Amino acid sequence: MNARHKQILRKFRLEISSQILVDGLVVQYLYQEGVLTQNQVEEIKSENTNQKKAMKLLDILPIRGPKSFEKFLESLEEFPWVREKLIWECMNQEMPENQAESWMYRVPEHILNSVPPDKQLNKLASKLGSEWESIVFELGLSSVDIYKCKVHYPHNVQSQIVEALVLWKRRCGKKATVHSLCEVLTAQDVDPAIVIAIFQ
C-alpha cells in the first residue's frame, strides 16, 4: 500500500471504523482475495466490539501489499457511501511529488547504486519502529519470512529487522541497492534525515 492510501486510511480511521461492519462480507472478501490470512481474520474477529474489529483491520491493511487498498474498496459493497468517500478522496487529493528524488541527491550516487553493507542495515534497524514489517513486505519478503524472523529473535526487534533486511539483500543480490531501499523507506514515511545520516 502506498503512502497516499495509508494517509487516507489514517485520515478517515474513526469515521470508517464507526460506519462499517467488518465481521462479515468485508473480512470474508479480503480473505478470499488473499489480502488477509486465516490468523488475521481470527485476530479481527476476536475483538469485542464492531469498532475495534474495524480498527484492527485498518491496522493490518497497510502491511498487506500494494493491492490491499484497492481490495478493501471492493470489499465495501454493503457500505457504498464509505467507498465513494474514499474514492473521491483518492481522486481529489493532490498527487505527492516524488519525495525520494527531492532528498536522495544528498546521498552520493555511487552509494545509491551500491548494495548496503550489513553494518548500515544494522544502523537502519535501530532507527525503525513498528513500520518495519510493512517496509520489508514492500521489499518483497512474505508474511512467512517475517514470521520466521520474529521466531528466531522473539525478544529482540532490532535483530528481527536486521535478519529481514539481510534476507532481502541476499535474495535480490545486486538489485538490493541503497536506492531501491530508500524508495521504499520514503513511501513508508520514514524520516529522510535518518536515512541520509546512515547512507551519506
What whole-number distance in Å separates Cα of residue 182 and Cα of residue 125? Answer: 13
What whole-number distance in Å separates Cα of residue 160 and Cα of residue 163? Answer: 5
Nearest 10 degrees: CA dihedral of 139, 143, 147, 153?
Answer: 10
Q: What is the pLDDT of residue 35?
A: 92
Residues with Cβ within 8 Å of residue 139, at least 6 apart in sequence: 165, 168, 172, 180, 181, 184
| Domain ranges in the chain with CATH number 1.10.533.10 | 3-92, 99-199
The cell numbers describing 23, all together, are 465481521
| CATH no. of 99-199 | 1.10.533.10
Return the sign of the alpha-carbon dihedral for residues 115, 117, 118, 121. Answer: negative
The lowest-confidence range among 23-27, 90-94, 174-178 is 90-94
Q: What is the pLDDT of residue 95?
A: 44
The lowest-confidence range among 22-26, 38-42, 44-48, 161-165 is 22-26
Domain covering 3-92, topology: Death Domain, Fas (1.10.533)
3-state secondary structure of 78: coil
What whole-number distance in Å separates Cα of residue 100 and Cα of residue 162? Answer: 23
Q: Which amino acid is at 72?
A: F
What whole-number distance in Å separates Cα of residue 103 and Cα of residue 193? Answer: 9
CB 186 within 8 A of CB 192: yes
pTM of the model: 0.54
The lowest-confidence range among 43-47, 94-98, 109-113, 135-139 is 94-98
pLDDT tens digits, 101-122: 555 656 777 888 899 999 999 9
The cell numbers describing 196, all together, are 541520509
pLDDT tens digits, 75-92: 998 999 998 988 888 877
The three-state (H, E, C) secondary structure of 82-93, written as one string: HHHHHHHHHHHC
What whole-number distance in Å separates Cα of residue 45 and Cα of residue 130? Answer: 22
